[in-house]
Chain A
Amino acid sequence: MTPSLTRRGLAGLALGLALGGALPALAQSSGEPVMIGVSGPLTGPQAQYGALWKQGFDLALERINAEGGIDGRPLEYTFEDSQNDPRQTIAIAQKFISDPAIVVEVGDFSSTASMAASPLYQRGGLVQFGFTNSHPDFTKTGDYMWSSSISQSQEQQVMADYAVDRLGLRRIAVLHLNTDWGTTAKNIFVEEAKKRGAEVVAAEGYLPDEKDFRATLTRIKASDPDGLLLESYYSDGALLVRQIREVGIDLPIVAVGSVYSPDFLSLAGDAANGVHTTAYFTPVSPRPEVQAFIKDFTAEYGQEPNNFNAMAYDTMNILAEVMRRHGTTREEIKAGLGEISGVPSVLFPEVSFDPETRRVMGLEPTELIVKDGAFQLFQP
Chain B
Amino acid sequence: MGSILSLPWFDFTVSGVVIGSIYALMAVGLALIFGVANLINFAHGAVFTVGAYVGWVCAVALGLPLWATVPLVALGGGLVGAGIEYIAIRPLNRQSRIAPLLATIGVGLILDQIVHILFGANPRALPVPMPGWRVSVGQGSIGPIDITIFVTAVIAAAALYAFLFRTRLGMAVRATAQDEDAAKQMGVNIHAVNMAVFAIAGALGAIAGLLVGIYYNAIDPNTSFQIMLKGMVAIVIGGMANVPGAIGGGVILGLIESYGIALFGASYRNLFAFAVLLLMLLVKPNGLFAKGREREAEPMTGTFVIQSMPVRPPGWLLALGVAAAALVPLAGQPYLTQVMTNAFLYALAAISLTLIAGTVGLVSIGHAALLAIGAYASALLTIAGLPVALGLVAAAAITALLGTALAYPAFRLRGHYVAIGTLAIGEIVSLVILNWTSLTNGSMGVFGIPPLTLFGVDFFSTNPSYWLVLGLVVVFALLQTRLLSSHLGRTWRAIREDTVAAETYGVGSNYYKGLAYGFAGFTAGLAGAVTAHQFSYINFDTFNLLTSVLILTIVILGGLGNVTGAIVAAVLVAGLPEMFRVLAEYRMLFYGAALLLLIRFRPRGLLGSG
The interface of chain A, by Cβ under 8 A from chain B, is 1, 3-6, 42-48, 51, 80-81, 83, 86-88, 90-95, 97-98, 112, 115-116, 118-119, 123, 137, 178-180, 182-184, 204-207, 209-219, 221-222, 235, 238-239, 242, 246-248, 263, 266-269
Interchain CB contact under 8 A, A210 and B269: yes
Residues of chain B within 8 A (CB-CB) of A112 are: 445, 537, 539
**How big is the B interface, by class?**
35 or more
A118 to B447, CA, bound (A): 12
Residues of chain A within 8 A (CB-CB) of B534 are: 90
The 10 closest A-B pairs by CB, nearest first: A95-B335, A214-B15, A5-B120, A47-B121, A247-B140, A215-B258, A48-B122, A94-B338, A94-B334, A216-B266
Ordered by A's residue number, 15 sampled pairs between the chains whose C-beta atoms are within 8 Å are: A44-B588, A83-B587, A90-B338, A93-B338, A95-B338, A116-B536, A118-B536, A214-B14, A214-B18, A214-B140, A219-B265, A246-B142, A248-B136, A266-B125, A267-B123
Interchain CB contact under 8 A, A178 and B587: no
CB distance from B536 to the nearest CB of A (A): 6
Q: Does B119 contact A (CB under 8 A)?
A: yes
Residues of chain B within 8 A (CB-CB) of A217 are: 15
B1-39 interface (Cβ within 8 A of A): 6-8, 11-12, 14-16, 18-19, 22
A216-B261, A247-B15 known; A137 and B216 CB under 8 Å? no
Stretch at the interface among B185-193, B196-204, B308-316, B577-585: B577-585
A94-B334, A98-B334, A183-B442 known; A267 and B16 CB under 8 Å? no
Interchain CB contact under 8 A, B584 and A238: no
Residues of chain B within 8 A (CB-CB) of A4 are: 61, 118-120
CB distance from A153 to the nearest CB of B (A): 15
A46 to B586, CA, bound (A): 15
A5-B120, A209-B222 known; A86 and B216 CB under 8 Å? no
B333-371 interface (Cβ within 8 A of A): 333-335, 337-339, 342
A242 to B125, CA, bound (A): 12
CB distance from A29 to the nearest CB of B (A): 26
Interchain CB contact under 8 A, B434 and A212: no
> CB < 8 Å: which of B8, B265, B444, B461 contacts A218?
B8
Q: B528-540 vs A: 1/0 string, CB under 8 Å?
A: 0001001111010
Q: Does B217 contact A (CB under 8 A)?
A: yes
Q: Does B167 contact A (CB under 8 A)?
A: no
A301 to B576, CA, bound (A): 34
Residues of chain A within 8 A (CB-CB) of B143 are: 246
CB distance from A318 to the nearest CB of B (A): 26
Q: Does B96 contact A (CB under 8 A)?
A: no
Interchain CB contact under 8 A, A94 and B337: yes
A81-B585, A239-B218 known; A51 and B120 CB under 8 Å? yes
Residues of chain B within 8 A (CB-CB) of A212 are: 15, 18-19, 22
Interchain CB contact under 8 A, A269 and B127: yes
A4 to B116, CA, bound (A): 11
Residues of chain B within 8 A (CB-CB) of A92 are: 335
CB distance from B6 to the nearest CB of A (A): 8
Interchain CB contact under 8 A, A219 and B141: no
Closest to B120 in A: A5
Interchain CB contact under 8 A, A42 and B585: yes
Q: Does B510 contact A (CB under 8 A)?
A: no
Interchain CB contact under 8 A, B335 and A222: no
Residues of chain A within 8 A (CB-CB) of B61 are: 3-4
A51-B122, A215-B12, A267-B123 known; A221 and B139 CB under 8 Å? yes
A118 to B588, CA, bound (A): 26
Interchain CB contact under 8 A, A183 and B444: yes
CB distance from A92 to the nearest CB of B (A): 8
> CB < 8 Å: which of A115, A178, A219 contacts B261?
A219
Interchain CB contact under 8 A, B121 and A45: yes
Interchain CB contact under 8 A, A86 and B542: yes
CB distance from A105 to the nearest CB of B (A): 13
Closest to B267 in A: A205
A94-B335, A94-B337, A112-B539 known; A207 and B119 CB under 8 Å? no
Interchain CB contact under 8 A, A204 and B11: no
Q: Does B270 contact A (CB under 8 A)?
A: yes
A100 to B440, CA, bound (A): 39
Interchain CB contact under 8 A, B121 and A86: no
Interchain CB contact under 8 A, A235 and B120: no
A31 to B203, CA, bound (A): 57
Interchain CB contact under 8 A, A115 and B447: yes
CB distance from B534 to the nearest CB of A (A): 7
Closest to B460 in A: A119
Interchain CB contact under 8 A, A48 and B588: no
Residues of chain A within 8 A (CB-CB) of B443 are: 178-180, 182-183, 205
A80 to B217, CA, bound (A): 32
A46-B121, A112-B539 known; A242 and B216 CB under 8 Å? yes
A91-B335, A246-B143 known; A211 and B216 CB under 8 Å? yes
A216 to B542, CA, bound (A): 26
A219-B265, A222-B8 known; A98 and B537 CB under 8 Å? no
> CB < 8 Å: which of B257, B451, B586 contacts A215?
B257
B437-455 interface (Cβ within 8 A of A): 442-445, 447, 451
Residues of chain B within 8 A (CB-CB) of A1 are: 124-125
A246 to B138, CA, bound (A): 12
Interchain CB contact under 8 A, B223 and A219: no
Q: Does B85 contact A (CB under 8 A)?
A: no
A43-B584, A239-B216 known; A115 and B536 CB under 8 Å? yes
Residues of chain A within 8 A (CB-CB) of B22 are: 212
Residues of chain A within 8 A (CB-CB) of B16 are: 215
Residues of chain A within 8 A (CB-CB) of B19 are: 212, 214-215
Residues of chain A within 8 A (CB-CB) of B148 are: none
CB distance from B385 to the nearest CB of A (A): 20
Closest to B143 in A: A246
CB distance from B352 to the nearest CB of A (A): 18
CB distance from B470 to the nearest CB of A (A): 16
A235 to B16, CA, bound (A): 23
> CB < 8 Å: which of B122, B267, B337, B339 contacts A206?
B267
Residues of chain A within 8 A (CB-CB) of B279 are: none
Residues of chain A within 8 A (CB-CB) of B460 are: 119
Interchain CB contact under 8 A, A180 and B139: no
A65 to B607, CA, bound (A): 53
A92 to B136, CA, bound (A): 54
Closest to A86 in B: B535
A221 to B10, CA, bound (A): 13
A95-B335, A112-B445, A182-B443 known; A222 and B535 CB under 8 Å? no
Interchain CB contact under 8 A, B267 and A204: yes
Q: Does B462 contact A (CB under 8 A)?
A: yes
Interchain CB contact under 8 A, A247 and B223: no
CB distance from A87 to the nearest CB of B (A): 6
In this complex, the member of A98, A209, A212, A217 whose beta carbon has the largest number of chain B beta carbons within 10 angstroms is A212
Interchain CB contact under 8 A, A97 and B588: no
> CB < 8 Å: which of A42, A98, A221 contacts B8?
A221
Q: B215-228 vs A: 1/0 string, CB under 8 Å?
A: 01110101100100
A47-B116, A47-B120, A247-B11 known; A218 and B217 CB under 8 Å? no
In this complex, the member of A6, A183, A242 whose beta carbon has the largest number of chain B beta carbons within 10 angstroms is A183
Residues of chain B within 8 A (CB-CB) of A248 are: 136, 139-141
> CB < 8 Å: which of A43, A116, A180, A238 contacts B535?
A116
A46 to B123, CA, bound (A): 11
> CB < 8 Å: which of B11, B434, B584 contacts A42?
B584
Interchain CB contact under 8 A, B584 and A81: yes
A98 to B11, CA, bound (A): 58
Interchain CB contact under 8 A, B257 and A209: no
Interchain CB contact under 8 A, A91 and B447: no
CB distance from A243 to the nearest CB of B (A): 8
Interchain CB contact under 8 A, B12 and A218: yes
A216 to B266, CA, bound (A): 6
